[in-house]
Chains A and B, each alone.
Chain A
Amino acid sequence: MSGLALDGLVKRYGSFTALQRTDLTIPHGQFVCLLGPSGCGKTTLLRMVAGLDSPTEGRIRLDGTDITHKPAHQRNFGMVFQSLALFPHLTVGENIAYPLRIRGVSKADQGREVERLLALVRLPGVADRAVSQLSGGQRQRIAIARALALSPKLFLLDEPLSALDAKLREAMQIELKLLQERLGITTIVVTHDQREAMTMADLVVVMSQGRVRQAASPIEVYRRPADSFVADFIGMTNLLRGHVSGGALAVEGGALALPGLPPSGEATISVRPEELRVHRDAAGPNRLPGTVSFVRDLGSHVELRIDVAGREMIAVATPQDRPDVEPGQLVGVELPPASCVVLES
């Protein structure tokens, strides 16, 4: 089959398991984000794909060929490191030409390829500069250009934008995504920034404690989180835990009639702040009574903090839909059944 397949991949360092048994298939041409907090095993996974670490167990296959034990320098994958790892003793042009020089490409062809790659990352005419003369964003582009020399089969990036300031990072995310779409290259990015993942990825792989929690499209990960970790890690959410009886979930403050509930026992649901409806009237179907504790008006949207039977819920509304409520006011929080996600326990 075409693409990258990880079969039962495990990485242990002594008694510490950095990556628990992972199976993942990445179709050709996809943009994948490995997303999770630090220490979740996402960088370990990327390094094994790159061939810089070898897995304790499992197989890595590319287009059906087993590459588990193929040395990094024979894989022909482009990689951008968090530190960028630009060679300080070489000029910008020599850095980009390094993989070509190693393979004995002629000087003239090296020069042409450097020109093409610099144009690709929209930084023409800097080939003769020293790396130290460039800004952070420019170095970023050079590292990308160097990794893309020789059109690699896989494009791997480890926290590539973490050193940039917020504005530049946003711009680079879009640029990176457009570049990947243009080249159609299978790309794996490691990041801890969920906005970054949402911006760029076709497939988001949420990881925590060495385990893949959910692998799905960004919007599905957001709307249909698999478990409470994913729901909490991706954006803001309201988690409610309660007991199921008679097709309804009994939570503190009331009962909610929801589809997809287990027949009995405990259940946890997640509902995004923008899905909540805040009414001046506390009574109604699927409404929980509460008291407004804080109103944060950020201009672009309004955030309401509501105390529902001792637990805080967050509701977000656009300025147009802003509920006419004041702090201290008694309100009804409506949880539309279609937007409540029952989580795997």
Chain B
Amino acid sequence: MRQPPRRAADYGPIAFPAVMLLLFFAVPFGLMIAVSFFQRIEGGFYEPAFVWSNYARFLSVFFGRVLSFSMMLAAGVAVVSVALAFPFTYLLTRLRRRTQVLWLVFLLSVLSLSEVIIGFAWATLLSANAGISNLLVMVGLLDAPTSLSPSLGAVLTGIVYQAFPYTVLVLYPALSRLDPTLTEAARTLGASPLNSFFTVVVPALRNTIVATLIMVFVFALGCYLLPQLLGRPQHWTLSVLITDQALFQANMPFAAAMAVFLVLVSLGLVGLSLLVGKKENAA
């Protein structure tokens, strides 16, 4: 029987993480919110103030274009990742336990690669002189090797590559809990294996799929290196813009305002995914 904490000392075990969270998350985040309202000094840094001008800059065509591009890119990454990872994870959960563990360890090791390595690796793979287009020439599908990067496709490929292991790991528990007799029942009722996948497995895990889409979306929204390594300036996302404003334009207040906005969008979407998850548990 768990008892609610009564004395101050009962809160002891959570004191350390609470202090750490406060010190290294809440305080910097609070500072960032404060800075987002500060006044920028042209040619200098910034001074404490309370102005809305940093947020007012969002109301420009340029900013609207970058924001909508970021959202579209993140949505594209989410859809492609889940579309690839869902059937993959489904087949993975049907394999022997040992094989499953090997695959999961492999995916975890991919997850540990840094964004820089992934970016340069794909830049090389998609380049004209060393990339996969040379293979296509060898096979006879192309006349001459071409450069496939920088391009939107390259950005999408890079981020999907980075998000894929993450997507699999999020989908894995729900798919491995799925009762295998459901698909067997569908088969005895006349559904081919492919048909049973689309009429039983996918709809039965509808809510898991929605929650995973939102999570990958938020994950992709934070990508700032890959769009620079694999894309043209028109493929740069809000995160790239934040980096640019903060590091190269020395406009901390505007960068902070954009970051706060991005956090709010992310939080909103995570909240939405929690709501979906709650509904699924209730069902």
Measured CB to CB, the residues of A under 8 A from B are 50-52, 71-79, 81-83, 85, 87-90, 98-99, 101-103, 130, 132, 146-147, 149-150, 156
Which residues of chain B are near A149, meaning CB under 8 Å? Answer: 189
Q: How far is the CA of A77 from the CA of B185 in the complex (A)?
A: 11
B188 touches A102 (CB 8 A): no
- Can you add 5 more A-B contacts, CB < 8 Å, to A71-B192, A85-B185? A51-B188, A82-B181, A87-B204, A89-B204, A149-B189
Given contacts A77-B188, A78-B188, contact A102 B199 (CB under 8 A): yes
Q: Encode B201-224 as 1/0 by CB contact (under 8 A) with A.
A: 001101000000000000000000
Q: How far is the CA of A89 from the CA of B182 in the complex (A)?
A: 11
Q: How far is the CA of A81 from the CA of B187 in the complex (A)?
A: 12
Q: How far is the CA of A73 from the CA of B193 in the complex (A)?
A: 8
B179 at the interface (CB under 8 A from A): yes
Which residues of chain A are near B179, meaning CB under 8 Å? Answer: 83, 85
B283 at the interface (CB under 8 A from A): yes
B187 touches A73 (CB 8 A): yes
Q: Encode B131-150 as 1/0 by CB contact (under 8 A) with A.
A: 00000000000000000000
Contact of A99 among B184, B190, B206 (CB under 8 A): B190
Measured CB to CB, the residues of B under 8 A from A are 179, 181-182, 184-193, 195-196, 199-200, 203-204, 206, 283
CB proximity of B151 to chain A, nearest CB, Å: 39
A87 touches B200 (CB 8 A): yes
Contact of B190 among A50, A73, A81, A132 (CB under 8 A): A73
Given contacts A89-B203, A89-B204, A102-B199, contact A81 B181 (CB under 8 A): yes
Which residues of chain A are near B191, meaning CB under 8 Å? Answer: 73, 98, 102
Given contacts A83-B179, A85-B181, A85-B182, contact A52 B188 (CB under 8 A): yes
Most buried by A among B181, B195, B283: B181
Residue of A nearest to B182 (CB): A85
Q: How far is the CA of A75 from the CA of B189 in the complex (A)?
A: 9
Which residues of chain B are near A75, meaning CB under 8 Å? Answer: 188
B181 touches A72 (CB 8 A): no
Q: How far is the CA of A103 from the CA of B192 in the complex (A)?
A: 11
Given contacts A83-B181, A85-B179, A85-B181, contact A146 B189 (CB under 8 A): yes
Which residues of chain A are near B204, meaning CB under 8 Å? Answer: 87-89
Given contacts A89-B204, A102-B199, contact A52 B187 (CB under 8 A): yes
Residue of A nearest to B205 (CB): A89
Q: How far is the CA of A51 from the CA of B186 in the complex (A)?
A: 12
Most buried by B among A51, A81, A150: A81
Contact of A85 among B184, B195, B206 (CB under 8 A): B184
Which residues of chain B are near A85, meaning CB under 8 Å? Answer: 179, 181-182, 184-185
Q: How far is the CA of A73 from the CA of B199 in the complex (A)?
A: 14
Residue of A nearest to B187 (CB): A72
Q: How far is the CA of A329 from the CA of B263 in the complex (A)?
A: 89
Which residues of chain A are near B185, meaning CB under 8 Å? Answer: 79, 81, 85, 87
CB proximity of B206 to chain A, nearest CB, Å: 7
B188 touches A103 (CB 8 A): no
Q: How far is the CA of A52 from the CA of B193 in the complex (A)?
A: 11
A52 touches B184 (CB 8 A): yes
A102 touches B189 (CB 8 A): yes
CB proximity of B180 to chain A, nearest CB, Å: 9
Q: How far is the CA of A219 from the CA of B3 in the complex (A)?
A: 60
Question: A-B pairs with the 3 shortest C-beta distances?
Answer: A85-B185, A99-B189, A79-B188
Q: How far is the CA of A82 from the CA of B181 in the complex (A)?
A: 9
